[in-house]
């Protein structure tokens, strides 16, 4: 079985091109003051702040980690209109490129590999790269670790989803709902919890009408959220309903196929947008339970900070934020993580100096 690294080297050799500089360094393990795992707005903001503080951060941006390209969920967003500084809007991939460019400008060393496991009890902290070449026993090490691996939106992978994902299908109403393709058009939200009710209500600002497809005969949402959605004049709840298929004209989603959960009967529903609201999965499997999480898997931090239960380990962005989940809030969290890490490293250096001084007495 070939690893991505092996395949990429073969590709570069065949096409007579050299891999980029950061790729050439992949075989060399290293010690760093700060390692950042993840390359979304949280990771890159942490990198920018850490680099400007002369901490020489190393970022493992991941290669299809969680099935998503480097840059995280932002790369799957078409138009970003709510990130400050871009009055005309910017695509998710363009914003990711600008974040990456700014990180490297200040000296962040970005490595396109995925971290597969860590040892947070070790000092220095140890991290292992995902590697099929047999090098897993050689870890990279660091004094401070920032976990910014985000959370992956759950999807049902219905028929037609691959063709119409981000062409009428999304997992973030707040991110994408105001896009022109959804304005004054009928939309459908899949889910039965608070998120589904909240996102459906949000979408009524832009849609001509919103349907909520609920697979059971009742909401799982809180009473107040359920009543708000059910009583909204622009919302229709489709009970006992599965969305079986997404269809379109080859360019955009135009309708979905609904299936009655009891009778199995199918019918078409004309919509221009489908939004999943069935939850997110924090990308924390590689931590193997070494950090505390809540009941849904989000990392727990000290209130008002990014500090986890293990000294020297910090969590930034959607990996611990299940409430806001926005690019701008993730960026702010990344800033906090870098500042928390900088303070920790200063404390660590002071402690080492005290130990050294005590040893000379």
Separation CA 73–CA 172 (nearest Å): 10
Q: Looking at the structure, do residues 310 and 177 belong to the same domain, yes or no?
A: no
Q: Looking at the structure, do residues 176 and 106 belong to the same domain, yes or no?
A: no
Q: Looking at the structure, do residues 267 and 354 belong to the same domain, yes or no?
A: no
pLDDT of residue 13: 41
| pLDDT at 141 exceeding the cut of 90 | yes
Could you say which of 276, 305, 331 is where a domain stops?
Answer: 276
Token pair of 331 as six digits: 């960026």
| pLDDT at 218 exceeding the cut of 80 | yes
Token pair of 164 as six digits: 């119409």
Query: What is each CA distance from 20 to 61, 193, 240, in whole angstroms?
Result: 14, 45, 52
Residue 76: pLDDT band (50, 70, 90) is low
Residue with tokens 């790269």: 129
Q: What is the pLDDT of residues 100-128, one digit of tens each?
A: 999 999 999 999 999 999 999 999 999 99
Cα Rg of the chain (Å, integer): 23
Could you say which of 276, 296, 316 is where a domain stops?
Answer: 276
Separation CA 105–CA 134 (nearest Å): 33
133 flagged as catalytic = no
Residue 67: pLDDT band (50, 70, 90) is low
Separation CA 87–CA 272 (nearest Å): 26
Instruction: Determine the angle formed by the axes of helices 223-230 and 194-203, rounding to 10 degrees.
Output: 30
Q: Which of 109, 142, 143, 175 is catalytic?
A: 175
Residue with tokens 């050799």: 13
Q: Which of 176, 318, 321, 340 is catalytic?
A: 176
Separation CA 210–CA 274 (nearest Å): 10
Q: Looking at the structure, do residues 212 and 337 belong to the same domain, yes or no?
A: no
The tally of domains found in the chain comes to 2
Could you say which of 246, 276, 306 is where a domain stops?
Answer: 276
DSSP class of 300: P
Q: What is the pLDDT of residues 265-319, one digit of tens each?
A: 999 999 999 999 999 999 999 999 999 999 999 999 999 999 999 999 999 999 9
260 flagged as catalytic = no
Residue 9: pLDDT band (50, 70, 90) is very low
Q: Looking at the structure, do residues 163 and 148 belong to the same domain, yes or no?
A: no
Q: Looking at the structure, do residues 73 and 135 belong to the same domain, yes or no?
A: yes
Q: Looking at the structure, do residues 164 and 244 belong to the same domain, yes or no?
A: yes
172 flagged as catalytic = yes
* Bond from prior residue into 264 cis (ω within 30 degrees of 0): no
Q: What is the pLDDT of residues 167-185, one digit of tens each?
A: 999 998 988 899 999 999 9
Q: Looking at the structure, do residues 26 and 132 belong to the same domain, yes or no?
A: yes
Query: What is each CA distance from 235 to 186, 199, 204, in whole angstroms?
Result: 10, 11, 8
Token pair of 213 as six digits: 């497809």
Sequence-separated (6 or more) residues with CB below 8 Å from residue 256: 188, 243, 244, 245, 246, 247, 268, 269, 271, 274
Q: Looking at the structure, do residues 233 and 286 belong to the same domain, yes or no?
A: no
Q: What is the domain range of residue 84?
A: 4-152+280-359
Residue 239 CA, chain-centre distance (Å), reads 31
Q: Looking at the structure, do residues 12 and 88 belong to the same domain, yes or no?
A: yes
Q: Looking at the structure, do residues 38 and 173 belong to the same domain, yes or no?
A: no
Q: Looking at the structure, do residues 100 and 246 belong to the same domain, yes or no?
A: no
Q: Which of 142, 172, 197, 335 is catalytic?
A: 172
Token pair of 157 as six digits: 């992978």
**By percentage, how much of the chain surpasses pLDDT 70?**
88
Say which CATH number the domain at 266 has: 3.50.50.60
């Amino acid at each position: 079985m070939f690893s991505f690294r092996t395949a990429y080297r073969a590709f570069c050799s065949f096409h007579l091109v050299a891999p980029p500089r950061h790729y050439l360094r992949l075989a060399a393990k290293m010690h760093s003051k700060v390692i950042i795992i993840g390359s979304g707005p949280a990771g890159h903001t942490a990198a920018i702040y850490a680099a400007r503080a002369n901490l020489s951060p190393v970022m493992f941006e991941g290669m299809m980690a969680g099935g998503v390209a480097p840059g995280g969920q932002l790369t799957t967003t078409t138009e970003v209109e709510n990130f400050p500084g871009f009055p005309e809007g910017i695509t998710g991939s363009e914003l990711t490129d600008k974040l990456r460019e700014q990180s490297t400008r200040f000296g962040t060393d970005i490595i396109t590999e995925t971290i597969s496991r860590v040892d947070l009890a070790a000092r220095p902290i140890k991290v292992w790269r995902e590697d099929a070449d047999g090098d897993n026993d050689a870890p990279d090490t660091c004094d401070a670790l920032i976990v910014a691996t985000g959370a992956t939106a759950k999807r049902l992978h219905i028929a037609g989803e691959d063709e119409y994902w981000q062409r009428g299908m999304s997992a973030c109403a707040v991110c994408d709902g105001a896009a022109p393709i959804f304005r004054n058009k009928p939309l459908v939200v899949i889910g039965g919890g608070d998120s589904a009710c909240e996102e459906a209500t949000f979408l009524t600002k832009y849609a001509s009408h919103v349907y909520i497809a609920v697979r059971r005969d009742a909401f799982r949402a809180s009473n107040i959220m359920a009543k708000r959605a059910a009583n909204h004049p622009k919302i229709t709840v489709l009970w006992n309903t599965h969305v079986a298929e997404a269809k379109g004209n080859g360019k955009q989603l135009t309708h979905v196929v609904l299936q009655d959960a009891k009778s199995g009967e199918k019918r078409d529903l004309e919509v221009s947008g489908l939004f999943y609201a069935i939850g997110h999965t924090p990308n924390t499997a590689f931590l193997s339970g070494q950090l505390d999480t809540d009941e849904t898997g989000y990392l727990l931090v000290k209130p008002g900070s990014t500090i986890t239960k293990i000294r020297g380990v910090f969590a930034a962005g959607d990996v611990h934020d299940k409430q806001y989940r926005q690019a701008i809030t993730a960026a702010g969290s990344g800033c906090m993580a870098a500042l928390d890490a900088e303070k920790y490293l200063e404390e660590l250096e002071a402690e080492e100096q005290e130990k050294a001084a005590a040893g000379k007495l």
